[in-house]
Amino acid sequence: MNIAGHSAIITGGASGLGEAAARAFSKANVKVAIFDLDIERGPQIAKEIGGVFAEVDITNEDAVHQGIARAADHHGPARILVNCAAIGGPSIRTAGKKGPHPLDIFRKLVDVNLIGAFNATRLAAYEMLDLEPLERGERGVIINVASINALDGPVGSVAYTAAKAGVTGMTLTIARDLAPKGIRACTIAPGNFETPMLMGAPQELLDYLLPEVPFPNDRFGDPADFAAMARHICENVMLNGEVIRLDGAIRHSQAR
């Protein structure tokens, strides 16, 4: 897909990977709608990039419907969805001296990081079904965001890992479901990127993680590198149904 001139929805676009994607797509002449709960940074970033902001909780069906309608009113129907909205959680083992893993924490992470991602995916995809096909019959592209935790989850991350594993697990099925209508779906599984979620971790953990990356390990990942991958997925029609690790070859060990 030649992305210039088309419209994109970026969930979680007010910070981190989503913000980087929003800025990168805007520079590529894409009309960007930011969906986020941050009503301070979201509108500010949207204004800076000439986009539109919608306050959207991705777990809420009505909120996503309203956000999609707002984006379409400003920019026309979106052909691109980049699903970056997510939350992290505390390090908690499945069971320990303090008791079993709290079920409410597990449920919350799955609700936002998996069910929310699917909610945005299904509703955005539905709006793409009736769009006029582009070159090679393409109507749209959906990019979800998982994590390398989904593939080699470290100790204490069972809730986050389960949610992100669900995202990776549904990737191929979504791609196959939507293939007859020319809508592609891929997932990016980032490693350790310099985002508010990671940088809010204890310094001891950050000091442990960085040297674990084989290369490059001079700093944590630049969100701009994530944005470049998201753009490439949109532009490369043969990328479909794939989960792409973007992690500098790190593999989480069991010890933490």
pLDDT digits (tens, 9 = 90+) for 232-241: 999 999 999 9
Q: How far apart are CA 49 and CA 24, in angstroms?
A: 9
pLDDT digits (tens, 9 = 90+) for 4-34: 999 999 999 999 999 999 999 999 999 999 9
The contacts of residue 99 (CB under 8 Å, 6+ apart) are none
Q: pLDDT band for position 171 (50/70/90)?
A: very high
Map residue 34 onto helix, strand or coil: strand
Q: Given this model, what pLDDT does residue 255 score?
A: 46
Catalytically active residues, by annotation: 160
Q: Given this model, what pLDDT does residue 111 score?
A: 98
Q: How far apart are CA 31 and CA 18, in angstroms?
A: 15
Q: What CATH superfamily classification does 7-243 receive?
A: NAD(P)-binding Rossmann-like Domain (3.40.50.720)
Q: How far apart are CA 229 and CA 189, in angstroms?
A: 11
- 83 vs 217, more confident: 83
Q: How far apart are CA 71 and CA 33, in angstroms?
A: 6
Is the pLDDT confidence value at 256 over 60? no
User: pTM for the complete prediction?
Assistant: 0.93
Q: pLDDT band for position 216 (50/70/90)?
A: confident
Say how far residue 1 (Cα) sits from the centre of its chain.
19
Q: Given this model, what pLDDT does residue 66 score?
A: 98
Domains of the chain, residue spans: 7-243
Mean pLDDT, to the nearest integer, of 83-99? 93
Q: Which long-range contacts (CB under 8 A, 24 or more apart) does 101-105 make?
A: 101/158, 101/159, 105/159
pLDDT digits (tens, 9 = 90+) for 45-84: 999 999 999 999 999 999 999 999 999 999 999 999 999 9
Q: Given this model, what pLDDT does residue 167 score?
A: 98
Q: pLDDT band for position 199 (50/70/90)?
A: low
Q: How far apart are CA 130 and CA 36, in angstroms?
A: 26
Say how far residue 207 (Cα) sits from the centre of its chain.
25
